[in-house]
Structure 1
C-alpha cells in the first residue's frame, strides 16, 4: 500500500509531483521477515486465503537496453529475481466470478510497457482478466471478471461495520504472500477533495502490496477495501464495501481535481479530470478508453492554462517588452524564457556541467525546470548527417557523457545503449524551428525517455524528460509547448556550419532566408533581408576553424514577433580573441524605462564607443561605429546596427581605423 502522498490513485496528479510511482512501488516489494497472522476463527482462514489473490504484472521479456556489464541479479532476493511477475497488490472474490481490487493497483497496467495485470493464487496459478465491469477513479476501486476463474467461495460483505470493533487487514504485504493482521476500526474521515464520502480508518498494520485487499470483520466478512497507508501514523484507509456494491454497474467513472503547471510560468491551472464510459470492456479496451480520456483532459488543462494567461504570455503583455528589446547573449547552451514573480519575462539561468566525448566532442547539461537541457558538441569524426540520421548513435553518445543508471539491488549499472527509439518524427514550433522528437521505452522501469532535439551547427541543443509510460502524451504535450520558449544562439566553426547547412530539411526557416557563403583564405559573405556584409583575409583570417555565432533573439517585426538574428559575430578561430560583430538595436517602446532610452540615444548620437575611435578594454583593442539611417528631421529610424572590430593587445589608431573601413566597405542595412 502506497504512502498517501504518492499513491497511484491520483491519476490526475499534476506536474508538481513528477515521482515515478511504479518504480517506487516495485522497489518496496523486497522480502521482509515473516509477519505474524492475527487471530481469526480457524475455520475461516482457508476460505479467506482461497478468496484472496496477489495482483501481478508480467516482467518485460525482451530488454533492448545494453549495459556496461551483466546485471547483478544475484543481488536480488531469490523470489524476486526468479519470479516472472511483479507482485503489485491484492484482490479478492466478492461474487461469482467477480473480483475487486484498488483502482490504483489495476491502473499500473494502463498503457503499461510491462503487460496486463492478472491474479495469482497461493499455488502460483495465474488468472487473466476477462472484463472490467465497474471502476471508480475517485473512490479507488475496480471490479472485474477472470477468463478462467478459479472455483472459490466469495467473501461475504458486511455493510454495517461497527466502530471500535476488531478488523483484519488481509493482503499481499511486501510481495511475500497473503498475511492477515489485526487492529481496530477506529474512525471515519472525509475524502480530501469535497468530503463526498467517509474513509474508514483502521489500526491493523498495512504494507506496500496490501492495496486492494479486503478489510474483514471478526466473522470474516468484508467491510472495506484497503487502499492507502497513513504517512505519519499507524491509521490506514479503506473504502467501505457499501460503495463498491452500490456503484453503477457496467460503468467507469472519474471525477477528480488536479493542478496543471507549465515550467515557464508560476501560475497553476486547477481543473477536473471528469469522464465516464460504458463497461464491460477487456482490460486492453478499458486501458485505451481511460488513457484517451486522460490524455484529452491533460490537453484541456494545458489549453486552459495558456488561455487563462494569454494576455501576459510571452510575447504578449508589458512584461515581455524588455526581452523583446534585448539582443542575444550569444550563449549556445539552450535554456527557457520564464516569467518572473514581478511579471517580467527573463531568460532562465543555468548551471551547466560539462562532460567530454572523444574527438573534441562534449555534452554540457543542466536541469531547467522539469527537464534536462543539454548542448551536444558532436565529435569531429561524426558528420551532421550521421548524427541527425542515426538516433541510436546520438543516444549512445549522450549516455557516454550523461550516464543513465539502472538500480539492481544495492548496485547501480550504467546503461550504454537504449537501442532504437520507438518514436521518431519532426515537430515544428511556432517560430519554425524543426525539432527531431525521439522516444525510447524503458520497460524495466515502465517509463519512457522523451527527447526534443534541435539541430545546431556543432551538434544538438535539446531538452529531455523521463516520464511514466502512462504520462507519455501529457509530457509530450508539455515539451511541445515549451519549444516556443527556448532561447539559444547558433554557434560553430565554419567547417561545422558548412556541414550543418547541407541539412536543409532540418534548418529553421530563418536560416533558409540567410545566405552564408565563404571560401577559405578568400572571402566571407553574409546576407539576410536585414543585414549584409563581406570581408577578406585582409580584415581577418578565414579558414575552417574560424567561428561564426548567430545570436538569436525574439523581437517585433512589422507587427509580429519573430525569432531572428540580432547579433552576428565572426572570430578568426575559436580560441583567438580577434573578431568582428554586428549588433541590432531597437528604438525603445514607451513602457520601457529610461535606461533603454539613454542607451538608444547614445547609439543615435554615435557616442563612444560607437564613434569610430579605438579604445582598449580587458587587454583588447576595439573600434566601432553605427550603421543604418542617420537620425534627421525627416528620418527617425526604429532600428540601427553597431559594428565592431576587436583584436587582442594594443594596436595603432591608424591600423584600427583601416580595419573598420574594411569592415564597413560592403555593409548593407535593409531595415530602418
Structure 2
C-alpha cells in the first residue's frame, strides 16, 4: 500500500478533505478591515469545486434511508462540495492538486466549478499541474464571466491576510488573520510555504489567500495539525511553473502488512499538457500505478533473503507442529525477526442452517471465514460473488451513516469486477470488487474456497487506489494460513469442483463409504480405518491441517495433519488423527527437540498406551517410513484415537491397531 510522504499530497489532515455537506447558496462573511467594495469581485472569481452525487444506488438497505433527517440544503443539493478554486485570468483557474485528484476514477461525477448563482461549469483542459507543490491550473468548458483576482507575488510578512474558501461545504466565506512566516517545504526545501493564522476549514483547499488589497498572494492547501497556523503555496510558484507540463516529483512510501520495512522512492516524471480531464487522469494514474508496481518489486527484492519462507526467522514456523485453526491467520514478521501467525481474534455471527461468519482483522484488511448455510446450494455459493457478500452483509458489517442513524446495508449488489488470482502456493482466490457510491469507495474481496465455505481478505479503498490495493492483496494472499474443513458431505461437493481446489489437493485422494470405511492417500502418507473404529457418516467433520514446511529443502504448502471428528455437534470430541512431524535442526528450539526425541524413541505419550486426559481417553502410536539405508528418518507420523469416557487399554489398543494396520509413510 502506498503512502504519501510529502505533505502536499496527504489526504488525511488536509483542509481539502471531502466535505459531504454542500451548498447552492453563498454566504460572505466580511473581515473587518477588508474593503467592502472588493467583495463582489472576490465573490465572482471564487468557486466551489463540486462533484455530482450518484443518481443510482446498487445497494440494498434494511429500511428506507431516513434522508429527511439531513439538513435541507444537504439532502436537496445534487452535488458534493470538495474544495475551492479561483480565477487568475481569462478562463484560467487554480485549485489544489489533491482536490482535483478526488475525481480520479471517482464513483461521482468529475470535478466541476459552481458559482455564487449555483451554475455549474465542467473543467475543459488541464494546463499546469504539480503534484508536490499541490496545485493545478485549468480552463472551463463554459464561461462564468470575466471576473479575475489580481495577483501579488511579493507579499509582506506580518500583515493581514484573508483566507477565502468553501468552509465546510456551506458556501464561500472570508476569514482574517496574519501572514506570520515562511517555512521550507519538508522534502528538501525546494520552496517555502507561507504560514498564516486565518481560520481554514474542510473545503478551503484550493482557495485564494488574499492580502489587504484583495490580491492573491497564495493558494490555501494545508491545515496545521497541532496549531492554528495553516499553509499556502505562494502564487508566484504557480505563475513560475512551466506551461504545458504535468510535473510529478515527490516522495512516496510503500509498505505491506507483513513486516515493518518501508520502501521509499522519489517519483520523478512528467507528461505533456494541455489535456482533457479524462486523459489527464489516465496519464496520471498510469504513472502512479507503475510506481507502485516498481516499489513493491523493489521492496520484495530488498526483503527476499528474509521473506518467509526464506531466512533464519522462518525456521521455527517451517518446523513446528501443524496447527489446526478454525479461523485463518496472517503470517507476519515480528520485531524480533521471527515469522509467526497473527490476526486470530474474531467476532462470531450466526447464520441460518448452521452457517456462520467470523470477522477479524489483519493489518489494514479484514480477515473473514464464512461457513455456508446447510440449505444453500454449493454451486451458487462458489459461483456467485453476490451470494457470498450478501452473507457477510448479514453481520451488519456494512452500515451507512445518515444523520444520527446507522442504516444496515443488506446487499452490495453485483460486483463491478471479477477475476481469479492464484497465489504462490497455487491456491485459487476469487477476486471481486463492489462500489459504495455514497462513500466514493470500493470493497475489494479475495475469497479462497474451502469445503465448508470460504476464507476472505477484504479491504475498503478509494477507487483511485484499486490497483494499489489489489497489488497488496495479491501478495498478502500467499501469507494466509488456513485449515480446510467441512463435513464429509461438504467435502464431496468440494472435491467435485477441481477449479476451486489448491494444487496440493491434486496429490491427495479422499474416499469414504458411509458406514464402512474411510481412506486417505497422498504422496506422503496413506491410511484407512473401518467404521468399527469411528462411525463414518455424512456429518463427520474432516479437517486438513495445511502447513508450510520443507520438502527436500524446498518450501511447500501441504497437509501436515488429518483430523476426522465423529460429528459436528459432538460434545465428547471423539476423533481420529494422523499427524506429520519433521526433525528440527539442532539448536532451533528445546521443546521441538524434546518432542522429536520422544517420537523417535516412542516415549510417552507416543507409546501406544491409553491415557485419560480432559474427559477423553487418548492413545497414540508412531509410524515411521520403511527403512531406507542407514540414515534415520527425518519424518515421522503419529496415529491417534480419542473417545469420550474411560475405556480399557485393550479396547483402545484394538482401535489403534485397526487405524495403523494399513498405514504407510511414503516420504522419508
Range into which the TM-score falls when normalised by the shorter chain: over 0.9
The correspondence of residues 308-347 of structure 1 with structure 2, limited to 5 A, is 308-347=302-341
Q: Which residue does 1:636 correspond to in 2?
A: 632
Query: Does residue 523 of structure 2 align to residue 529 of structure 1?
Result: yes
Q: Which residue does 1:55 correspond to in 2?
A: 49
Q: Which residue does 2:603 correspond to in 1?
A: 607
Contact 1:31 1:174 in 2 (8 A): no
Judge which range, 299-308 or 134-143, deviates more. 299-308
Contact 2:84 2:205 in 1 (8 A): yes
Q: Which residue does 1:213 correspond to in 2?
A: 207
Deviation digits for residues 429-478 of structure 1, max 9, x if unmatched?
00000000010011110110011100011101111011111111111110
Q: Which residue does 1:40 correspond to in 2?
A: 34
Query: Does residue 662 of structure 2 align to residue 666 of structure 1?
Result: yes
Q: Which residue does 2:577 correspond to in 1?
A: 581
Judge which range, 395-404 or 646-655, deviates more. 395-404
Q: Which residue does 1:654 correspond to in 2?
A: 650
Query: Does residue 19 of structure 2 align to residue 26 of structure 1?
Result: yes
| Inter-partner Cα distance in structure 2 for 1:263 and 1:167 | 44
Contact 2:609 2:620 in 1 (8 A): yes
Aligned with residue 482 of structure 2, among 479, 488, 500: 488
Q: Which residue does 2:588 correspond to in 1?
A: 592
Query: Does residue 553 of structure 2 align to residue 546 of structure 1?
Result: no
- Offset at 1:245? 0.3
| Inter-partner Cα distance in structure 1 for 2:113 and 2:543 | 60
Aligned with residue 468 of structure 2, among 471, 474, 478: 474
**Cα gap change, 1:342/1:9 in structure 2, threshold over 3 Å: closer, same or farther?**
closer
**Cα gap change, 1:8/1:460 in structure 2, threshold over 3 Å: closer, same or farther?**
farther
| Inter-partner Cα distance in structure 1 for 2:55 and 2:466 | 22
Judge which range, 237-246 or 572-581, deviates more. 572-581
Contact 1:604 1:630 in 2 (8 A): no
Deviation digits for residues 524-581 of structure 1, max 9, x if unmatched?
1111111111111111100001111111000111231110000011122122422111
Unaligned runs of 5+ in 1: none
| Inter-partner Cα distance in structure 1 for 2:559 and 2:245 | 56
The correspondence of residues 16-165 of structure 1 with structure 2, limited to 5 A, is 25-27=18-20, 36-38=29-31, 39-165=33-159
Q: Which residue does 1:564 correspond to in 2?
A: 558
| Inter-partner Cα distance in structure 1 for 2:520 and 2:50 | 63
**Cα gap change, 1:346/1:32 in structure 2, threshold over 3 Å: closer, same or farther?**
farther
**Cα gap change, 1:454/1:22 in structure 2, threshold over 3 Å: closer, same or farther?**
farther
Judge which range, 21-30 or 244-253, deviates more. 21-30
- Offset at 1:182? 2.0
Q: Which residue does 2:405 correspond to in 1?
A: 411
- Offset at 1:7? 12
- Offset at 1:34? 6.4
Judge which range, 48-57 or 299-308, deviates more. 299-308
Q: Secondary structure at the match of 2:138?
A: strand
Query: Does residue 294 of structure 2 align to residue 300 of structure 1?
Result: yes
Q: Secondary structure at the match of 2:348?
A: strand
Query: Does residue 179 of structure 2 align to residue 185 of structure 1?
Result: yes
| Inter-partner Cα distance in structure 2 for 1:412 and 1:418 | 16
Judge which range, 429-438 or 216-225, deviates more. 216-225
Contact 2:4 2:252 in 1 (8 A): no
Judge which range, 437-446 or 152-161, deviates more. 152-161
Q: Secondary structure at the match of 1:201?
A: strand
Q: Secondary structure at the match of 1:228?
A: strand
Q: Secondary structure at the match of 2:36?
A: coil
Q: Which residue does 2:250 correspond to in 1?
A: 256
Contact 1:385 1:503 in 2 (8 A): no
Deviation digits for residues 636-667 of structure 1, max 9, x if unmatched?
11111111111111111111111111101111
Q: Which residue does 1:626 correspond to in 2?
A: 622
| Inter-partner Cα distance in structure 2 for 1:23 and 1:415 | 28
| Inter-partner Cα distance in structure 2 for 1:661 and 1:24 | 69
Contact 2:61 2:411 in 1 (8 A): yes
Q: Which residue does 1:617 correspond to in 2?
A: 613
Judge which range, 312-321 or 40-49, deviates more. 40-49
Contact 1:253 1:275 in 2 (8 A): yes
| Inter-partner Cα distance in structure 2 for 1:31 and 1:389 | 46
Contact 2:5 2:253 in 1 (8 A): no
**Cα gap change, 1:323/1:577 in structure 2, threshold over 3 Å: closer, same or farther?**
same
Deviation digits for residues 285-331 of structure 1, max 9, x if unmatched?
11111111111112222222111111111000111111101132111
Contact 1:159 1:240 in 2 (8 A): yes
Q: Secondary structure at the match of 2:399?
A: strand
Q: Secondary structure at the match of 1:616?
A: strand
| Inter-partner Cα distance in structure 2 for 1:99 and 1:30 | 21
| Inter-partner Cα distance in structure 1 for 2:533 and 2:454 | 31
Aligned with residue 457 of structure 1, among 451, 462, 473: 451
Q: Secondary structure at the match of 1:50?
A: helix
Deviation digits for residues 481-519 of structure 1, max 9, x if unmatched?
001111011111101111111121111011122111111
**Cα gap change, 1:460/1:573 in structure 2, threshold over 3 Å: closer, same or farther?**
same
- Offset at 1:6? 10
Query: Does residue 356 of structure 2 align to residue 362 of structure 1?
Result: yes
Q: Secondary structure at the match of 1:412?
A: strand
| Inter-partner Cα distance in structure 2 for 1:122 and 1:426 | 49
Contact 1:20 1:468 in 2 (8 A): no
| Inter-partner Cα distance in structure 2 for 1:200 and 1:29 | 28
Q: Which residue does 2:266 correspond to in 1?
A: 272
Unaligned runs of 5+ in 2: none
Q: How many residues align?
A: 663
**Cα gap change, 1:9/1:635 in structure 2, threshold over 3 Å: closer, same or farther?**
closer
**Cα gap change, 1:21/1:393 in structure 2, threshold over 3 Å: closer, same or farther?**
farther
Contact 2:334 2:340 in 1 (8 A): yes
- Offset at 1:227? 1.1
Deviation digits for residues 324-382 of structure 1, max 9, x if unmatched?
01132111311101111111111115221101001111001111211111111111001
After superposition, the CA RMSD in angstroms is 2.2
| Inter-partner Cα distance in structure 2 for 1:217 and 1:658 | 95
